[in-house]
Amino acid sequence: MHPILKFTAQTETGNKINYLDITIHNTPTRWKTSIYIKPNFTDTIIPYSSIHSAQHKYAAMRFTYNRPNTYNLHEEGYKIEEDRIHNIMFNNAFSIHLHNPPPSPRQTTTAPDRQMTKTTQKWTTFTYVGKETTFITNLFKKTDLKSHCEPIIPSRDY
């Protein structure tokens, strides 16, 4: 081990213990899991009104939708997390019709046994300035050239 690394042991309190991002509840008959939320959680993600690209905003929402499905949550824990997702959407000005997001690309793969061929991809980078950038990058979807957007980084030359 390294002398800078320090480990602490946590003991079970009230028949539950937090481990990474889950809480494990020890009941007389089985263990139940729920999502652990740190005390300083602010439910802030990229707001819908932000100038960030739509892909980044929806990626943040997809993460919140996928998290409850990652763990085997009991019914009450799933309902709590579903309510938390609604609050996050509301507090970040997302429309409620987005409650059922489209499946992620990994969920729509139809041929998992096909062999992937190793190819070299060519990329281009754009500075994201608004919906015009999204329009331009969508044009590249029909080509072999992949596109990537970066946010505007403010200058430190005041």
pTM for the model stands at 0.55
Q: What are phi and psi of 40, to 5 degrees?
A: -95, 20
The answer to whether 44 and 92 are in contact (CB under 8 A) is: yes
How would you write the pLDDT of the chain (158 residues) with one tens digit per residue? 688 888 888 888 999 999 888 888 888 998 888 888 888 888 888 888 888 888 888 888 888 888 888 888 878 888 898 899 888 888 888 876 555 544 444 444 444 444 445 557 777 877 777 778 778 888 877 788 877 777 665 555 54
- pLDDT at residue 17, as a whole number: 92
d(CA 74, CA 77): 5
